[in-house]
Structures are given as structure tokens and as C-alpha cells.
Amino acid sequence: MMFPKNCWLRSTAVGMCIAAAALAATPGWAQKRGGTLIVGSEAEFNGFNPIKVKGMNSNTLAPSLTVMEGLFAYGNDQTIEPRLGLELKDAPDHKSATVTLRQGVTFHDGTPFNADAVIFHYRRVLDPQNSISAASMLSPIESVEAVDAYTVRFNLKHPWAALKSALALDSVINLIGSPKALTDDPDGFQRKPIGTGPYVFDEWRTGDRVIVSRNENYWDKDRPYLDRIIFRIVPDQVTLHQSVKSGEIHMALGNTAQPVVDAREAPNLQIIDYVGGSTTGWGLNQSKPPFNDLRARRAIIAAFDSQAFADGYFMGTVKVADGIFAPNSPWYCGGSNGWRGYDLPAAKALLKEIGKPVQLTMNSTNTPGGRRLASISQQFAQAAGFQAKIKLVDQAQHVRNFYANDFQMASWRPQIPDGDPDHMVSLMYSTEGARTVSKYSSAKMDALIQQGRTETDTTKRKKIYCEIERLVSDDAILIMPIRLVSHMIAGKKVKNVPAPRGNIVLVRDIWLDDSSGN
């Protein structure tokens, strides 16, 4: 694939590069309306009411982002664009900010979007009793109040430069639903969400598909381009990508290596790559044995042969991670920050120091990729001396097990958020954020995260985040063997395909050109 000279777009956050050739391929005047886009999804959706699901996997976020919107959003060039919010203004003391809202917008149930709807949403998200997993990324917000019917004020606990970036994240914390629908029928909203987005939710056929259709009353009169989108579940990666190749499905993420390798040789397909802070690895539950013991956590990390994993499981399509930030990030700490990696003798020595057999169960998804991931990881663990078993469940249950604290070690493909680095470290390593997966808690880590939030000097902030990286490694919080490259594979008829940031299928601006083939 040939890329235009300016196709690598650098973020000010975790440092993404986007191979965005598809975005530059067709001029705006050629956009066509109509048609049905079929998107392949590898797993079942886990529901759409934030309070009920607590968090959304990437499969669920894809249709959610067509139906519900936030105040702001990251565009394809990684600049922040207005959505339901038009402008954010900081107060002189930087302890609050006002957001001017878009007027004349209605939810799909006919109720108005206004300041009350924004306040309703963020009060629910910020309420600790609701335990929404990503709410830690908004923890500097003290309260949200109305200035008038179309202006809201975010009151902050301290100055926080990352507020607008946080409000632009593709996350459950920012997807604003109809207050009436959420109040009157929360169970119904779980199956059929109501937002303000470019598409209206039609139906969810469990185990099969979600269907959305054009919102004829959308506030942006130039969008959407499509009549309908079908998010179709195809759990088997081989079947999924054969369906993309044949044109039965128009686009899907390439979450295993072989489809990506094959797609690069297919003349009727395009691949859009995204390199960011995301990883495929394992979450370690520190609230129960064996990983409540630091030695066991360090041992399993030392047992994991990251290079063999990258070369074998990913067929050389990824790079070994050497920190929490990618090499193309402005926050990258240089790869020489004491990051713990493969060291089999050290793993064996740590297990010997524990002085008793260390048993563990690896939870993974019951898919070809999930089974292979578990098998490879089991071999690494057993080579070090762990007594390792495998437990396989479907992906929706796998996510539920995270929130129910029903795991010791679980395969994990975290959606590392874009924007300011504060979002990533607060989500994954703060006491509040880590309660979902690792159950990690450290007063030192929380203090460093707070310093990073309040510091305004970029050089000083980078030193703080490199110190956070060292602590992540020293405390052996998770297994992060590789730097994940997200691949969107699509037929040539699919136009304006954005890079899959956060490993999410983003379809808002897509249109179809049947003259281009599959």
C-alpha cells in the first residue's frame, strides 16, 4: 500500500502514528449517500447502559458511537472536534471550565438535548456507587452545573489541563444517552440505547448482530452517508476474514496475525494501521493468590518470552514493548528505564524463593486466537515452574469475570485511551482505575499520578511519567509483552476508513462506492 507523505499523524498523547492513506484517497465531492455497511465483530456485545455494563468492550463501543455522542471527539488528524459541545473555556484560575452546547439537538426519542442532559449524564458517571470502570479518568471533576440552558460548568478539584482531552475520549464515560429513556426504562436502554448520534438503534439480535439506521434528523445535515450499518458477530477470525475477502462483510479488525499477513497480499483489500499505547497481554489480580505476592507477579513477567510471542503468535507484525509509552510517543522514556522483561533464570529463582508450588489459572476467550494465546502463555509459565491451568469462556463472560473479580490471570487487550497521558495512567494504575482488573493500589503511584495532573511544565511532566513507568515495572502490575498494532481490514468499496484508534471500529464518516469492487 502506498501512503501519502503526510500520512503519519503524531498525537500529543500516548504517541500514535496513523497510516491514513484511505482518508486521503478520495476528495470530499465524491462522497456518495446510501447503502448498507456490514461490519464484522469478533464477539457478542455486552450491553449499552453504562451503569449496568460498568464498561464497554471495543465490540460494543463500535455501535454505541454511532448512536450516542459526547461533547467533543478526536478527529482523524488527532485534533479535538466539536460534537454536542461547541467550545470549552477555562476560568482564569483554571479550576473550572464552561462548555457551550449545541442548540436544536434532540435525542432519538424526541426529548431535547440541553444542559440538564449533560448534568444527568456526568453525575451518573461520577457517582462512585455506580462503579463505572473508566470514571477514574474524570476524577479531577468535582461537579457539573448549569450556567444556562445551553452552557454547563465543570468545577475541578484542582487545575487540570487535560479536561477537554478527557471529554473527547471514545469511552463509555462520554456517551450521552437520553435521560428520559435511562430513567423510565433502564433495562430497555441496555438492549436499545437512545442518543443523539447519526444513526438510530434498530435492534440487537443476541449472538448475531446489531442494526442501526440513518438518523434523518441528525444535527449535521451533511451526515450520515449510509442508510444502515449491520454489526455482525463472527467469532472465528478465519471465517471473519474470509468473509471480508469475499465481500460478504465489508470491514473488520485484524486481531490475529494471519489475516493481516494475507490481507496485505489481497488486491481487493485495504489495511489501515494504528500504532499506539495498546497491548495484548495479561491482567494479574492482586487481590488473591498467587498474585497478591509481588514475587509471583515478577516471576510470571520474567517467564514471558515477549520476543517469541511477537515472532510466533503475531508473526512479526508487532514489536516487543519496553515501557508503557510507545517509541513514537513524546512521552517515551527511551527504552532504558529498567523495564522488566524475559529472564527465565530470574523467574525460576523467584519461584524457588516462594518455597511452595505456585498454582494459577489463566482465563482466556474460547476463540481460536484466545486458545492459542492461552496455550503459548501456559508453556511460558510451566517452563518457569508455575503449575498453570487454562479456563476458556466466551468473550462477553470473560469481560463479566473481570468486573466480578473472578480470575487470577486473564488475557487482556486494554483500550488505551488517546489524549493526555493522564488518561492512561489514571485508568490503569490509580487505585480507583485499577480496581476493575488488577486491584492494584499504591499510595506512591496515586501521588505521582496527581503530580502529573497538576504539573504544567511538559519537561517536568515527562519525568513524572517516566517515574510512573518505573513503578509499573517494579510493582509488576501486568504482563505487557508487545506494543499492539491495530489493523482495520476493509474492501476497496469502503471509503474514508479511519484508523482504528483504541482498536475500535469507527464508522461515522464512512461511505460506500460500489464501483470500486468489494
Question: Exposed (0-12), middle (13-18) or buried (19+): which is 515, by Cβ within 10 Å?
Answer: exposed
Strand, helix or coil for residue 221: coil
Burial class, 376, CB count within 10 angstroms (exposed 0-12 / middle 13-18 / buried 19+): middle
Given a contact cutoff of 8 angstroms between Cβ atoms, the answer to whether 45 and 232 are in contact is no
Lowest average pLDDT, out of 244-253, 258-267, 270-279, 465-474, goes to 270-279
Question: Of residues 372 and 77, which shows the higher confidence score?
Answer: 372
Kindly state the percentage of the chain with pLDDT values over 90.
69
Domains of the chain: 1-42+234-275+484-503 (3.40.190), 51-230 (3.40.190.10), 281-483 (3.10.105.10)
Contact at 8 Å (CB) between 40 and 252?
yes
Beta-carbon-side half-sphere exposure of residue 414 (alpha carbons within 13 Å): 32
- Mean pLDDT to the nearest integer, 379-404: 92
Model confidence at 436, pLDDT cuts 50, 70, 90, reads: low
118: nearest Cα among 73, 153, 155, 87? 153
- Residues 8-40 have pLDDT tens digits of 333 333 333 444 444 434 444 478 999 999 999
Least confident of 42-56, 64-78, 158-172, 411-425: 411-425
Average pLDDT of the residues in 193-202: 98
Q: Is 303 within 8 Å of 346 (Cβ atoms)?
A: no
Nearest to 253 by CA among 484, 41, 3: 41
| Residues 6+ positions from 324 with CB-CB distance below 8 Å | 277, 424, 425, 468, 469, 472, 480
279-305 mean pLDDT: 95
- Measured in whole angstroms, the distance separating CA 90 from the mean position of its chain's CA atoms is 27
Chain mean pLDDT for the chain: 89
Whether the ω angle into residue 224 lies within 30 degrees of 0, i.e. cis, is: yes
**Tens digit of each residue's pLDDT (9 = 90 or more) over 326-341:** 887 889 998 777 899 9
Which residues on adjacent β-strands are paired with residue 154? 97, 144
pLDDT higher than 70, residue 48: yes
Tens-place pLDDT, residues 439-451: 999 999 999 999 9
In the predicted structure, residue 277 carries a pLDDT above the cut 90: no
Lowest average pLDDT, out of 108-112, 202-206, 364-368, goes to: 364-368
Asked if 16 and 326 count as a contact pair (C-beta separation under 8 A), the reply is yes
Most confident of 103-107, 234-238, 330-334: 103-107
Q: Considering the chain, what percentage of its residues have pLDDT values greater than 70?
A: 93
Cβ atoms 68, 193 nearer than 8 A: yes
Query: Is pLDDT larger for residue 423 or for residue 174?
Result: 174
- Do residues 507 and 229 touch, judged by C-beta distance below 8 A? yes
**Mean pLDDT value of segment 280-301:** 96
Distance, in Å, from the CA atom of 122 to the CA atom of 125, rounded to the nearest integer, reads 5
Report helix, strand or coil for 259.
Answer: helix
> What's the pLDDT band for 394 if we cut at 50, 70, 90?
confident
How many whole angstroms separate alpha carbon 395 and alpha carbon 506? 21
Give exposure, 438-474, as e/b (b: 16+ Cβ within 10 Å): bbbebeebeebbbbbbbbeeeeebbebbbbbbbebbe
The total of other beta-carbon atoms located within 10 Å of residue 158's CB is 11
The grid coordinates listed for 499 are 484508523
**pTM of this prediction?**
0.81
